[in-house]
Amino acid sequence: MTEPADFDIVIVGAGPGGGACAWALSSYGYRVLVLEAGPAYDPDTDYLLDKPEWEQSRFPDRAQYKGRYSYGTMQKLESRWDKLRSWNHIHGRFNKTDRRAVFGYHHMRGIGGSTLVFSGEAHRFHPDSMKMNSRFGFAADWPIDYRELEPYYCSAEQIIGVAGPDNDPVRFRSKPNPLPAHQHSYSNMRIIEGFRKLGMNMVHNSVAILSEPYDDRPECNYCANCNRGCPRQDKGSVDVTFMKKAVDSGFCTVRTDCQVTRLEAGPHDTISEVHYVDSRGNAESVSGKVIIVACGAVESPRLLLLSENSHAPDGPGNESGHVGRHFMETISWVASGLHPEPLGSFRGISSDSICWDFNAPDSIPGVIGGCRFAIAASEAELVGPINYAQRVVKGWGREHKEAMRRSFGKVLTLSSICESLPHDKSFIDLDPDEKDSLGQTVARIHSYLDDMALRRLEFAADTIREALPASGVEEIFEEYGNYDFFSSTHVFGTCRMGDDHRESVVDRFCRSHRWKNLFIVDASVFPSTGGGESPSLTIEALAIRTSEYISDLASKGEL
């Protein structure tokens, strides 16, 4: 059944890209429909942080909404990189094989997308990271520069309520952050001191977590569990910010539990319909003057590749053959150790401090691509008694209970996220042998880390191995990273933006080079990843910029 063309704009996906577009375009008065594969979570009733069993589950996502993916053969592990193997002092090596294992692509479906479980980091890109090809000969340049994006960063920061410093020497800002930075926690002061001893700088992190009441939302109460869903709604996830405002405008309709299965490429270089399966299993379709795809760097290329037809034999947008290529992933290192003093390190925001000293693409000696260091007890799930009992405190019996009492709240954790650069062996394609619950071919993830990536990771690991002892940690008890496991939350690059239609999928406004009413607004358009910046704020800024462009085109009658 085809619905009447009631909507000006159809958006596929309600994460940071789709949500920010929904807000911007509905605020212009366009009739917007958002199709979201997952549900809408209710912070008042769905989250578990006020229950004793809170630690027994992470975000309470529902099994039926988990995406299904397959993976290409992962690379062999080499003994020369053994220092990058993941381990724990109780369990030994996590990956006991000689081949990189798959822990997964951690995609979140639901209104808000991955921001439902993000730690709130709201980062602007390092300007040099947007010119990786012309400056360093790697990846591709962004067709826009930082200054073009800057006003849209400000808009996004205002909507989500960013608390952070205003004195970043590298990232020019035309407006201050809407809220002051959070104070450093008592435990994190140890790490800040440790970095200082090493001649490095830990500074306030920029986060979409309210340090003061803002926009009818309360300030944070520092429970350190942003990734389990924020019941207070002080974390600026897309569901309680962009999407709420979009719906409140009266111009935005949201349909949850609707899995888009195909875009219908039609004549005249336009997408004529969006096909989807609704919550009751009915096949539906809808049309719009503009179609915005915002499903992330794995699902967006999948949808384009699944949409091949006679008008678009390789899938719409794939005229260059670049859809699915240039896949870039999360390359991170996390290490934890015990401090001798009681710190209450289960308190605070997820990450109030960050070190940008090696964030620029040329700042790590002998390596191209930067990294950042941040405090990460929450990200490492070391903020509750269960994880202490299982991972921190050895043994069993009476001694274990006594050691729990001596150890709880003393863990310090550091993480590093590194630049990921494209590699011919890292890409997304369709798996001919795997189908999802709707019988649709699933995306297959191919990932490869080359020597340059591993040297970046090695730098991160070595630095953390110095920084934790400098912070007073007596013994590191656990380290894990992406050398021996594929495990990604941030993914990029598979629908690259660029000015040259032969080398990219979308143009500088995220519009398909050929399909004039098709836009892609998620991290799949990123030509490079940055040196560890969390991507959601940049996705939102790009989305607001693209929405402004769409409105301009519409007002000129060019859509």
Binding site residues, other proteins, CB under 8 A: 47, 49-56, 91-92, 183-186, 220-225, 231-232, 342-344, 346-348, 383-386, 388-390, 395-398, 400-401, 404-405, 408-409
CA 89 to chain centre: 29
62 or 91, CB closer to other proteins?
91
Residues 544, 547, 551, 557, Cα dihedral to 10°: 150
Distances (CA, A) of 325 to 174, 428, 480, 525: 35, 6, 27, 11
176 or 385, CB closer to other proteins?
385
Q: How far is the CB of 347 from other proteins (least distance, A)?
A: 4
Q: How do 441-446 and 427-435 pair as beta strands?
A: antiparallel
Residue 540, amino acid? E
> Residues, the chain, total?
559
C-alpha closest to that of 125 among 544, 441, 556, 527: 527
Task: Retrieve residue 517's tokens.
Answer: 């009413």
C-alpha closest to that of 471 among 226, 186, 273, 232: 186
187 or 270, CB closer to other proteins?
187
Q: How far is the CB of 204 from other proteins (least distance, A)?
A: 13
C-alpha closest to that of 38 among 258, 300, 298: 258
250 or 340, CB closer to other proteins?
340
Q: How far is the CB of 403 from other proteins (least distance, A)?
A: 11
C-alpha closest to that of 415 among 510, 532, 328, 505: 532
Contacts of 411 (CB under 8 A, 6+ apart): 336, 337, 338, 339, 345, 377, 382, 388, 392
Q: How far is the CB of 233 from other proteins (least distance, A)?
A: 12
Provide the 10 A C-beta neighbour count for residue 382. Answer: 23
The answer to whether residues 188 and 217 touch, using CB atoms and an 8 Å cutoff, is no
Q: How far is the CB of 405 from other proteins (least distance, A)?
A: 5
Q: How far is the CB of 189 from other proteins (least distance, A)?
A: 9
19 or 348, CB closer to other proteins?
348
Q: How far is the CB of 213 from other proteins (least distance, A)?
A: 14
268 or 405, CB closer to other proteins?
405
- The Cα–Cα gap between 545 and 509 comes to 7
52 or 137, CB closer to other proteins?
52
172 or 186, CB closer to other proteins?
186
Q: How far is the CB of 387 from other proteins (least distance, A)?
A: 9
Q: How far is the CB of 356 from other proteins (least distance, A)?
A: 23
- The Cα–Cα gap between 17 and 547 comes to 10
- The Cα–Cα gap between 278 and 100 comes to 37
49 or 438, CB closer to other proteins?
49
The answer to whether residues 365 and 407 touch, using CB atoms and an 8 Å cutoff, is no
